[in-house]
Amino acid sequence: MKDTSAVTTTALASLVLLASATITATAQADVPQMEKCYGIVKAGKNDCQTNSNACAGTAKKDGQKDAWLYLPKGSCEKIVGGSLAKK
C-alpha cells in the first residue's frame, strides 16, 4: 500500500505544480510591459523617487522633469512633454 500511496501523492503534487506554473505563465503574459515616463506628472502624483525626493507622491509641481510615472510600453512618447529619459 505504501508504494501506491507514494505514487499517488507524487502524481498529485506534479499536477498541482503544473497547474501553478500554467497559471503563473498566463498571468505574466497578460501584464503589459511598463516603462518610466518623465515630465508628465501632476504635483504629488509621481510613482517613485526623484532627484530631490525619496518617495512616491512627492513631486512639487506639475510636469516636474525628474519625476516619472509607469505607463504601458509605447505610451510615453505619444504624450506631449513625455520622455523616456530624465530631462
- 54 phi/psi in degrees, rounded to 5: -105, 0
CA dist 71 and 54 (Å) reads 20
pLDDT tens digits for range 47-83? 887 777 778 888 888 988 888 899 999 999 999 999 9
Residue 86 has pLDDT above 90, yes or no: no
Whole-number mean pLDDT of the chain? 78
Q: Please, are residues 59 and 50 in contact by the beta-carbon 8 Å criterion?
A: yes
pLDDT category at 24 given cuts 50, 70, 90 is low
- Which has more confidence, 6 or 51? 51
**3-class DSSP state for residue 57?**
coil
- How far the first Cα of the chain sits from its last, in Å, is 70
**42 closest CA partner among 79, 14, 3:** 79
CA dist 38 and 66 (Å) reads 6
